Amino acid sequence: MLTLFGTPRHGFCDGLARRSFLRIGALGTGALGLPSVQFSEASPVENTPTRSVIMVYLPGGPTQHETFDPKPHAPAEIRGSYSPIATSLPGVQFCELLPKLSSMAHRFSIIRTLVGMQNRHESFQCYTGRPGGRPGDMEPAGGWPTFGSVASLVLGPGRQGMLPYIDAAPKMGYGPYNNRGLHDASGKVSWPGFTGRSHIPLALEGDVQSDLVLNGIDLARFDHRRKLLAALRRREASGQPDSVTNFQQRAFGLLTSSRLAEALDLEREDPRTLERYGKTQKTDPSFGGAPQSPKHLLLARRLVEVGVRCVTVSFGAWDWHANREGSIEYLSRKYLPVFDHALSVFLDDLHQRGLSDHVTVVVWGEFGRTPRINAKGGRDHWPGTQSVLITGGGLQPGQIVGTTDPSGGRPVDRPVHVQEVFATLYQRLGIDVNQVKIPDLNGRPRYLVEANRRPIRELG
């Protein structure tokens, strides 16, 4: 059994703002965790099928009926306005508004029977695989960490010292949609989780990117960064608790090489690729979600290409009750073609660049939508089941896992628990969920997934 000890709550950087970390060049202290040093160099991660994971979060909870689980033989108030079309998988149909994804269905798998989510509008469920923020959730001391935080602690930096965990999502109007551990309704925050502050993601928002580029920095500022690193080393040598390791030197090297800054600079991308991804479509601000931004998906590809282990990115606004902007018929017609184009180009881009074998992608929201269309012409929250797209990293493509009932509301066979998805993702990174335990802030060892949850066998 391997037990990892998380970062202490005190420390040199804990009192500084995230922006301050970047200004003084202390990326290693703020984003590369000290505990991970003990394990990353011995980790077999480079020999595992997956080097990276991209989580595409669909804030608001997408409809399964108008996407990957149409019910053409159900009554009109259940099947909706759109017909199914054939896919590249014999006998499998998707909604007619997804023709591009339908034509490449053999390249990915769909879970039609995901269970285990709560009726809560928050990214926390998708990024941790657990509920949190309410008394009945029984969260551990410090809160549950996100998948990326666990990967950061257990495996350390990515290839060639790259930052392990980056949130590439645009900032969203509704707070719990952002990757910040803020909970819907309760207003509580499970942040940064018991892995500690060293393992929260670097958030790419505002003018953070300018701090990652050395071009234009005068010698005095550059020298200040070197002196800071030297001062941290002296603290280590004196035995003070704010210890520094060779990963801080790697972080400094990362800063000076500007590899991350170059990955963030989309102007370096082939113009034909930028054109292929397409333009951003704004979503109605009343949703509080994300724009439909293909370039954020492209950014996620560029980040894993330079070695980031886990990237989170949000796409669209999916809370389609018909109390905002229009009916589900209108919203589907407006937003699903953009989703179809952007996601199909993104997946094809990964494939063409030889990344699909090394990068696992999961696309999901926090729950599904009701089988019956409501009186306003929309669908309400439905945690009973939802459809999830998962692909890459050596997973078996072309699988349709689980079957829902004729209304699309409940699994009739093979319900797949959200914790099984997380067990699968950890396995892809070479992390054995049966062996690794991380103590919470009370020192109690915690498994990464619930007891008896295993990787999804159908995806092999």
* Stretch (H or E) spanning 103: helix 99-103
For the chain, what are the domain ranges?
2-459
Task: Tell me what pLDDT residue 224 has.
Answer: 59
- Which residues lie below 8 Å from residue 394, measured CB to CB, with a gap of 6+? 49, 50, 357, 428
Read off the amino acid at residue 449: V
Averaged pLDDT for residues 151-169: 93
The tokens for 105 are 């269905």
HEC sequence for 61-92: CCCCCCCCCCCCCCCHHHHCCCCEEECCCCCC
172 close to 289: Cβ distance less than 8 angstroms? yes
Percent with pLDDT over 90 in the chain: 75
Task: Tell me what pLDDT residue 344 has.
Answer: 98
Interior angle at CA 310, CA 307 and CA 314, nearest 5: 120
Give the Cα separation of 253 and 337 in Å (integer): 42
Give the Cα separation of 151 and 145 in Å (integer): 10
pLDDT at 333 over 70: yes
Classify residue 240 by its DSSP letter.
Answer: -
pTM of the model: 0.85
54 close to 313: Cβ distance less than 8 angstroms? yes
pLDDT at 70 over 90: yes
Give the Cα separation of 252 and 19 in Å (integer): 16
Give the Cα separation of 372 and 47 in Å (integer): 47
Tell the CATH topology of 2-459. Answer: Alkaline Phosphatase, subunit A (3.40.720)
Classify residue 434 by its DSSP letter.
Answer: T
Task: Tell me what pLDDT residue 28 has.
Answer: 34
Better pLDDT: 287 or 204: 287
Tell me the CA distances in angstroms from 107 to 87, 194, 314, 340, 457, one per residue in order: 11, 36, 22, 14, 18
Give the Cα separation of 328 and 379 in Å (integer): 7
297 close to 313: Cβ distance less than 8 angstroms? yes
pLDDT at 4 over 60: no
Better pLDDT: 450 or 37: 450
| Number of neighbouring beta carbons within 10 Å of residue 399 | 20
184 close to 117: Cβ distance less than 8 angstroms? no
Beta bridge partners of 52: 359
Percent with pLDDT over 70 in the chain: 78
Radius of gyration for the alpha carbons in the chain, expressed in angstroms and rounded:
22
* 3-class state of residue 271 by DSSP: helix
Give the Cα separation of 395 and 15 in Å (integer): 42
Averaged pLDDT for residues 18-24: 33
Instruction: Enumerate helices (H) and strands (E) in the chain, giving the number of each.
Output: 14, 19
* 3-class state of residue 171 by DSSP: coil
Give the Cα separation of 162 and 156 in Å (integer): 9
Confidence of residue 20 (pLDDT cuts 50, 70, 90): very low
Residue labelled with tokens 């505990």: 35
pLDDT at 250 over 50: yes
- Which residues lie below 8 Å from residue 15, measured CB to CB, with a gap of 6+? none
Least-confidence region, from 18-32, 212-226, 356-370: 18-32
HEC sequence for 178-233: CCCCECCCCCCECCCCCCCHHHCCEECCCCHHHHHCCCCCCHHHHHHHHHHHHHHH
- Render 95-158 in DSSP notation, one character per residue: ETT-HHHHHTGGGSEEES-EE---S---THHHHHSS--SSGGG-PPTT-PPPHHHHHHHHH-S-
The pLDDT mean for the chain works out to: 85
Read off the amino acid at residue 126: C
Give the Cα separation of 43 and 159 in Å (integer): 12
